[in-house]
A and B are shown apart, each in its own frame.
Chain A
Amino acid sequence: MTLLIKEVTKRFEGHTAVDRLSLEIPEKQMFGFLGGNGAGKTTTFRMILGLLDITEGEISWNGESINYDKSHLIGYLPEERGLYPKLTVKNQLIYLGKLRGMKKQDVVEELEYWLERFNVPEYMNKQVDELSKGNQQKIQFITAVIHKPKLLILDEPFSGLDPINVEMLKEAVIDLKEQGTSIVFSSHRMEHVEELCEHLCILHKGTPVVQGSLKDIKQTFGKKNLVIHGDLSFDFLEKFPGVLRYKKLAQGCELQIAQEEISQEIFQALQGQGFIRKFDLEEPSLNDIFIEKVGASYE
């Protein structure tokens, strides 16, 4: 059940929303889609779902194109949340579940399970517009997963939720992945992607600027972060060869270095200078990579 996106381009009137995007998302994978506003994430999702036509290239899933015959295998949580405000949670899910090929009885059973899981069993017969925004989002999430899809597309699933609910949804997403669902999700919260995804892609203005597995991306990025705490002035490190970025902290400084070897040279240079409390070589965060890659093309 591999999702294959091959050289896909989408052009709207005058501008290119997605430019020659190629991706391969294997089964049982969680794939992160990063990008700023207007990077082309939602457009890509809509093309995967067949809501928008592809200008060039092709998208296939398991070797076949995605059409409405497969809609019972696909779950979708759109960025713009939408439910019928005047319908009860139950009736809403029955309708949307039936459209995904479920039987009414199964919908009710699954819904009971999910409401229980999200600690909101009392919402079964409530109208959606009586619920808070965060709780509506839980219902929205249930509509995307109730039919146990094989491919799940989550557009900004965690936005607008408090930390407890974010954790609850994250666990649900991880469970689904372990049950064999391929999940594609977008976010501009780097820490979520870092935590959940093995593979990811950073889109910028419709072009993938970084893609691959999280480990590889970090490795090939090469640059590391170095945090030093101590009782001396570290200002001289700003000009130190191999130091790319220097940020003064209250108890020391934070550096970005070109390769990890530089850290050893700095370590040498600090010998005998004063009391060093902390010397910590860190992996670059996805945040750093994102700012670097996307920021670079802004310039």
Chain B
Amino acid sequence: MSKFWIILSHTYLTRVKTKSFLISTAITLLLIIGLANFQSIIGMFSDESGTEKVVVVDESGTYMEPLQESFAAIDEDIELIPFDGTVDEAQTAVQNEEYNALVAISTNADQLPEATYYANNIADSGNQMAIEQHLQQLKVVIATQQSGIDQATIADIYAPMSFETVALDESAKTQEELSQARGIVYIMLFVLYMAVIIYGQMIATDVATEKSSRVMEILISSASPVTHMFAKIAGVALVGLTQVGLVIAVAYGLIVSKQDEMTGEFFSSFGFENTSPTIFIYAIVFFILGYLLYATLAAMLGSLVSRIEDVNQLLTPMIMLIMVAFFIAMFGLGTPDATFIQITSFIPFFTPMIMFLRVGMLDIPVWEVALSIGILIGTIAVLAYIGAKVYSGGVLMYGRSGSLKDFKKAIRLSKKEK
């Protein structure tokens, strides 16, 4: 087994066995399961009382029947009960908690219904609104009948206007495709953002731990700092894959088991149904490159500190960078063809997010994508080279640190001076 694999598997296994990893993964999985069962969980709490009993005092005697029909068609939670007494008697009954609420319907001067809603507690507005809506419909029916307008005309008036958007450029994405792409872009942006912050931090902390416990000098006397750095980056990447893989597996299992409830809504809003596979390939490519870029940066920064407490301080600029990229990308979701977005998509630290956004949302010439990937790979190579230099110098450098001045010092320490 080469040293790369020894370090990689050590990094992976020690990380995966930590309590923090196990707990955070467990919590994430629970959250997902919870989210998937959101409906039933909510139902479990809210539905303890069963249907609400609402008594109706109908002075005219004509509204009760159509109202009950209207309720029977939609609302199952509210049971309407005709009341044969006066309003006062009904109020007493509600006060005695025989019923949940009371609706008193009368006819006004215009021969239209008007109603008063009584309940012991009017904070729960759900029932009131339901009843109000049904009465409103009833009122419209009665009012239009009185003015002699037939029902078909009413239906025409209320029907929504047809409004369609058509892109004239034939290669441009259709509205449907766009919303699907937006879903994927959004997920990928968010996952990359989280991955950089969580796993970048993990790499930097790991390196700083080895440095602060001074085991680093032994490590780099048996394996080269460059091997060590990349094995660490790959090891943490595997930890990330394990975590993300578990989450995806559980999520997939849930989706399959709850397919009937979830298709339609969930899938169409995130656009998984029939997206082209190229966008997934782009997502993976940009994700890996983005991770490598930031992970190299994190390892380099981690090698500069001598105390774990300083890790966060030194990582802040990096986290700011990914946050800026994330916010530009969020802004870009609405206006993917802005010049600003176009320019930033070529800045390597933003490319993984913003170029992917453009690829997903627009029809970008291949050379532009190739160029941005080229710049990105070039930057990673340069960063890896500098990183290795800083790393081999930085790991031997102790003392007060936490400033970017240490970069220069570390490079100098590893440089041959003639």
Contacts and interface: CB of A to CB of B under 8 A. Distances in A.
Interface of A: 11-13, 46, 49-56, 68, 71, 74, 76, 78, 80-85, 87, 95-96, 98-100, 143
Contact of A82 (B10, B216, B223, B413): B216
A11 B219 contact: no
Contacts of B218: 76, 78, 82, 96, 143
Contacts of A143: 218
A68 B223 contact: yes
Interface string B204-217: 00000110011111
Contacts of B221: 49-51, 71, 74, 76, 78
Contacts of A50: 221
Nearest to A50: B221
B217 A78 contact: yes
Interface string B1-44: 10100110010001000000000000000000000000000000
Given A68-B223, A76-B218, 11 more contacts: A51-B396, A53-B417, A55-B416, A55-B418, A68-B3, A71-B221, A78-B214, A82-B217, A84-B215, A95-B6, A99-B223
A56 B418 CA distance: 7
B396 A82 contact: no
Contacts of B418: 55-56
Contacts of B412: 12-13
Contacts of A13: 412
Contact of B224 (A68, A87, A95): A68
B395 to A, nearest CB: 9
A54 B418 CA distance: 9
B128 interface: no
B319 interface: no
A46 B413 contact: no
Give the most central of B210, B222, B224, B396: most A CB within 10 Å: B222
29 contacts: A12-B417, A46-B396, A49-B221, A51-B220, A51-B392, A52-B413, A53-B415, A53-B416, A53-B417, A55-B416, A55-B418, A68-B3, A68-B222, A68-B223, A71-B222, A71-B223, A74-B221, A76-B218, A78-B217, A78-B221, A82-B216, A82-B218, A83-B213, A83-B215, A96-B219, A98-B6, A99-B222, A99-B223, A100-B222
A85 B219 CA distance: 15
Contacts of B417: 11-12, 53, 55
B414 interface: yes
A158 to B, nearest CB: 18
B6 to A, nearest CB: 5
Contacts, number: 73
Contacts of B217: 51, 76, 78, 80, 82
Contacts of A81: 214
B230 to A, nearest CB: 14
Contacts of B219: 96, 99
A74 to B, nearest CB: 7
Between B3, B412, B414, B417, the greatest number of chain A beta carbons within 10 A of the residue's beta carbon is seen for B417
B14 A87 contact: yes
A100 B3 CA distance: 9
A85 B1 contact: no
B222 A82 contact: no
B17 to A, nearest CB: 10
Nearest to A53: B416
Nearest to A55: B417
Contacts of B14: 87
A82 B227 CA distance: 20
A53 B416 CA distance: 6
Contacts of B223: 68, 71, 99
Interface in B359-418: 392, 396, 398, 412-418
B7 A99 contact: yes
B411 to A, nearest CB: 11
Contacts of A76: 217-218, 221
Interface in B302-321: none
Most buried by B among A13, A78, A95: A95
B6 A85 contact: no
A46 B1 CA distance: 26
A81 B14 CA distance: 21
B215 A12 contact: no
Contacts of A96: 218-219, 222
Contacts of B392: 51
Contacts of B216: 82
Interface in B212-261: 213-224, 227
A53 B414 contact: yes
Contacts of A51: 217, 220-221, 392, 396
A74 B1 CA distance: 19
Nearest to A79: B217
B222 A95 contact: no
A52 B222 contact: no
Given A71-B221, A78-B218, A85 B213 contact: yes
Q: Which of A53, A54, A82 has the most CB of B within 10 A?
A: A82
A76 to B, nearest CB: 5
